[in-house]
Structure 1
Amino acid sequence: MKVAFMGTPDFAVPCLSALIEADFIDVVGVVSQPDRRRGRGQKLKPTPVKKEALKHNLEVFQPEKVSTPEGIAKLESWNPDVIVVVAYGQILKKEVLELPKYGCVNIHASLLPKYRGAAPIHRAIINGEGKTGITTMHMDIGMDTGDMILKEELRIASEETVGSLHDKLSEVGASLIVKTLDKILKGTAPREEQNDDLATYAPKINKEEGKVDWNQDAKSIWNLIRGMNPWPGAYTYQNGSLLKLWASEVYDLQGTNDQVEVGTIVKVDNDLGIVVQTGRGKLLLKEVQPASKQRMSATDYLRGYQIKEGNRLGE
């Protein structure tokens, strides 16, 4: 089976590697987003997928837009049986979707039709989901609306962050895409239409969403902190200075305390961390990052900064 691969970030790399290693698959070419300037020196850096492709001497095509006459001509020259799309970053037009014999197959990091859209991993954790997974599907012109092929479920552990769940799901996706293509080739792949009535959406995350609202309950804030780690990061303010929050724990789920304003530090423990009053219950901060400093445990933060009970976090 001749496969053209479209992908860009780290999430897509295990999938490309799995396709390269599969004995019934011939990866005939790779499409990735153009190299971008990154970092302090603004050096031009290749995408993670491009780096992996070049290790295996695969041809890499990096158009600004793939759904152009030039892009379609390149894909036609590869003559793929199927195009596999994993976090590529561009919307594909009908001409591309219908080009290969078996169409375009996508790996999506949710159990569709839940969490269609750009940030399914973030949203699942922020919303306190207990499970998520990978869905492979036939692509159509909608946003993650195509017919589903295979699914694999994954439990979201209580200590899970976006970073750890991202890595687990990328490995699940790598295994599932090989199984999917094997079934497509053998003519045994299931095809299930999505129920739009059950659909939910996972819009792109922006940095402003990481700002903690201490009026929320302790569990919701705990989910937000996990769902923003490692990017873009949850944050609050301590005495007017930015304070990023990287790890926390629900200290208790008791109700509101009318005597204490939300965001108030109600306990300082040099062995435990910082306990903060929320709209409902209390939250233990375990890992923080002051402005212009490295991440550190809350206990180290307490040793270096004058934090007292009664201080308030937030603007």
Structure 2
Amino acid sequence: MTSPIKTVFFGTPHFVVPVLEVLRACKDVELIAVIAQPDRPSGRKKELKSPATKVWAQERDIPVLQPESLKTPEIETQLRELDADLFVVAGYGMLIPDNIISLPQFDAINIHPSRLPEYRGPTPIQAAILDGKETSAVSIILVRSKMDAGPLLAQESFDLGTVHTAEELYEKAFTKGGRMLVDLLPAWVNGTHGTTEQDDSLATFCKLTKKEDAEIDWTCTSRQIRDRLRAYTPWPGIYTTWKGKRLKILELGPEVTTQIKETQLPGTISTHEGLHIATGDGWIEATQVQLEGKQPQSAEAFLHGTGRELEGEQLPS
């Protein structure tokens, strides 16, 4: 490779910043621009917040573009004028049309945190956690107009475990993916790295998360509820309903290995030595909660405030 690969990065959330770090540190890559989604309203005050990738790029004097759409003649002209050799895509959040994909000499390459063709779509790690999987993979693929369906360049396994949240695992996956990408780039540019077509008949799909997806079904097993907490932390956060208000369960204690009481209906509350809730196969202990309109607090403080009136109540499933 005689000169660095002029690279444009497409990505938005904070957990893809490790890919930017790896690209910037690679002597074979010249990072010439970052494409991120526009600033969006955030928080209770709905103040505009810049994507983490934009902040990272501006701190390093790397040009940033934030188009509302990639389907306008203006953005195509801007990208064409960059004269990039390669596009790298990681968690960008918008489909990239064919006329944009075709611009760089060495194609557009996507880092996707699943064992493709499994879990095509925007929430692959959440989907894997909710399915009870303890391993997944990072896939490096070519970008095509059909979502996450491009030919594979590389795929490596990584552990999901039973403890880490989806957010933590995304950062882990994209860190790994960035390293995988720079490792294969020399062979890809030299034309000596092949591709493997995905088997579309084996494809599964995941969808965008909605707030209501995170409502707790107490008839599920304790493991399934723990996995739901991991998948939906920090957003939207798992919740149940108490006195007509949402009660978020922010943290769970260690696995309950003894029977708190005789068998109870799922959702039944016991306040003996903590806030314990019956599940489909036992009990779990909530240690941090947040009642709608209130600040997060320990379960102990929450129980103190309610005068232990929760004892014996049954939460809805």
Normalising by structure 2, what TM-score?
A: 0.89
Is 1:144 the counterpart of 2:161 in the alignment? no
Alpha-carbon contact 2:152-2:198 (below 8 Å) kept? yes
Name 1:107's counterpart in structure 2.
111
Closer/same/farther in 2, CA of residues 244 and 42 from structure 1, 3 Å limit: closer
Is the 1:226–1:247 contact (alpha carbons within 8 Å) kept by the matching residues of 2? no
Looking at structure 2, the residues matched to 302 and 241 of structure 1 have their Cα atoms a distance apart, in angstroms, of 16
Tell me which residue corresponds to 1:177. 181
- Counterpart-to-counterpart distance in 1, 2:62 and 2:242: 50
Matched letter for residue 132 of structure 1? S
Instruction: Give the match for residue 279 of structure 1.
Output: 280
Which of these residues, 85, 88, 96, is aligned with residue 84 of structure 1?
A: 88
For residue 252 of structure 1, report the CA deviation from its aligned partner. 5.2
- Distance 1:137-1:253 versus aligned 2 partners, 3 A rule: farther
| Aligned partners of 1:31 and 1:60 also within 8 Å | yes
How far does residue 253 in structure 1 lie from its aligned partner after superposition?
Answer: 10
Percent identity of the aligned residues? 33
Q: Deviations over 1:277-300 (max 9, x none)?
A: 223333232332222333333334
Deviation (angstroms), 1:78: 1.1
Structure 1 residue 58 corresponds to structure 2 residue 62: yes
Residue type of the alignment partner of 1:313: L
Aligned counterpart, 2:52: 48
Matching residue of 1:120: 124
Separation of aligned partners in 2, 1:172 and 1:50: 21
Counterpart in 2 of 1:309? 311
Separation of aligned partners in 2, 1:45 and 1:285: 32
Partner residue in 1 for 2:163: 159
Structure 1 spans left out of the alignment, 5+ residues: none
2: distance between equivalents of 1:211 and 1:223?
13
Q: Which amino acid aligns with 1:277?
A: A
Distance 1:102 1:90 in 2: 21
C-alpha distance in structure 2 between counterparts of 1:288 and 1:53, whole Å? 36
| Alignment check: 8 A CA contact 1:82 1:101 kept | yes
2:286 counterpart letter in structure 1? L
Residue 8 (str. 1) matches residue 12 (str. 2): yes
In 2: Cα distance, 1:95 partner to 1:197 partner? 27
Identify if the C-alpha distance between structure 1 residues 42 and 274 changes in structure 2 by more than 3 Å, giving closer, same or farther.
Answer: closer
Residue of structure 2 equivalent to 1:242: 246
* Structure 1 residues 77 and 231: CA distance shift in structure 2, 3 A: same
Give the Cα separation in 1 of the matches to 2:59 and 2:149.
34
Residue of structure 1 in register with 2:256 after alignment: 251
Distance 1:133 1:300 in 2: 41
SS of the residue aligned with 1:251?
Answer: coil
CA distance in 2, matches of 1:170, 1:305: 43
- Give me the whole-angstrom Cα distance separating, in 1, the residues matched to 2:91 and 2:25: 20
Q: Which amino acid aligns with 1:2?
A: K
Query: In structure 1, what residue type is equivalent to 2:315?
Result: L
Between 4-13 and 238-247, the greater mean CA deviation after superposition: 238-247
CA distance in 2, matches of 1:126, 1:288: 21
Verify: 1:268 aligned to 2:266, yes or no.
no
Q: Please give the per-residue CA displacement for 1:224-276, whole angstroms capped at 9, x wherever unaligned.
A: 1221111100100223332101223553599xx8x6332111x3343xx3222
Mark the CA change 1:188 to 1:299 in structure 2 (over 3 Å): closer, same or farther: farther
Moved over 4 A (4+): none
Deviations 1:132-182 (A, max 9, x none): 231110011111001111122211122121222122223222222222323
Distance 1:189-1:306 versus aligned 2 partners, 3 A rule: farther
- The 8 Å contact of residues 210 and 232 in structure 1, kept in 2 or not, is answered as yes
* C-alpha distance in structure 2 between counterparts of 1:292 and 1:253, whole Å: 34
The residue identity in structure 2 corresponding to 1:205 is T
How big is the shift at 1:193? 1.1
